Amino acid sequence: MQRKRKASALDSDSPSPPSSAAASPAQTPLSPGQQQRIARNKRAALEKLASAHTLPGFGESWREELSPEFGKAYFKQLMDFVSGERKRHTVFPPAEQVFAWTQTCDIRDVKVVILGQDPYHGPNQAHGLCFSVKQPVPPPPSLANIYKELIADIDGFQHPGHGDLTGWAKQGVLLLNAVLTVKAHQANSHKDKGWETFTDAVVKWLSNNTEGLVFMLWGSYAHKKGAAINRTRHHVLQAVHPSPLSVHRGFFGCKHFSKANELLTKSGKSPIDWKAL
């Protein structure tokens, strides 16, 4: 006859012995006031985190909508990278101008989006708006070609004698580079560091939360960047890049500026005064 094995406290099916300590009382539900305080504290912590990982000069309406990006690991790594680069090298544009594109109009007032690649890498050129340079720096070749197309496309347009496109930005033209910083004299030096992910989020937010925008995509890089645009909600105009290397292959004669105004008018939006520079 088999002897019965004594039940062990380690046997999984054995009931646990009663605890010597008294069972802890059930947790009291939080009052509405406590829940509100917790929510406020959480918001404050997120805002503090966002401001810690945001370069100066970020427009408030843009911050409100894009702040979820600020707490993500890639954005913190990106900010750390740019900060380290500024300590060791000259980086353009200056820190307070990196987000100049958020300072000129409310995020919900954007009408036209022009996508660039990365900032100009020469002294006193980049100031946070793609294709644009601060006065008195002369327009670089691509911008000079943009002006030539405007002269042919828009009645009364004259070369403004400078390269500052802030006048467009104030009217709701978002001049957005895919990469927002660059090491002096080294084009594409900040490529694949995280900026592309952030600016993709900007394009995606605009695509999903607005209607009737006109996106101008010049060159294969911008064409790929625009893949996330909802083309049933927005208008997309594509051409080659205005660089001297490609401008004669379809940028001259594209008439994007007059077409943009026609599309804006059909969408019930006021047209852009391209001459207001």
- Describe the crossing of helices 195-209 and 73-88 by its angle, rounded to 10 degrees: 130
CA distance 245 to 6: 88
Taking alpha carbons only, the member of 185, 183, 199 closest to residue 113 is 199
8 A C-beta contact, residue 110 and residue 203: no
Taking alpha carbons only, the member of 259, 272, 115 closest to residue 200 is 115
- Describe the crossing of helices 60-70 and 32-52 by its angle, rounded to 10 degrees: 90
Amino acid at 81: F
Quote the DSSP letter at residue 189.
T
8 A C-beta contact, residue 140 and residue 133: yes
Tokens of 187: 């084009």
Give the residue numbers annotated as catalytic, written as ranges. 118
256-270 core/surface letters (b: 16 or more CB in 10 A; e: else)? bbbebbebbeeeebe
φ, ψ of residue 175 to 5 degrees: the values are: -105, 90
CA distance 134 to 125: 6
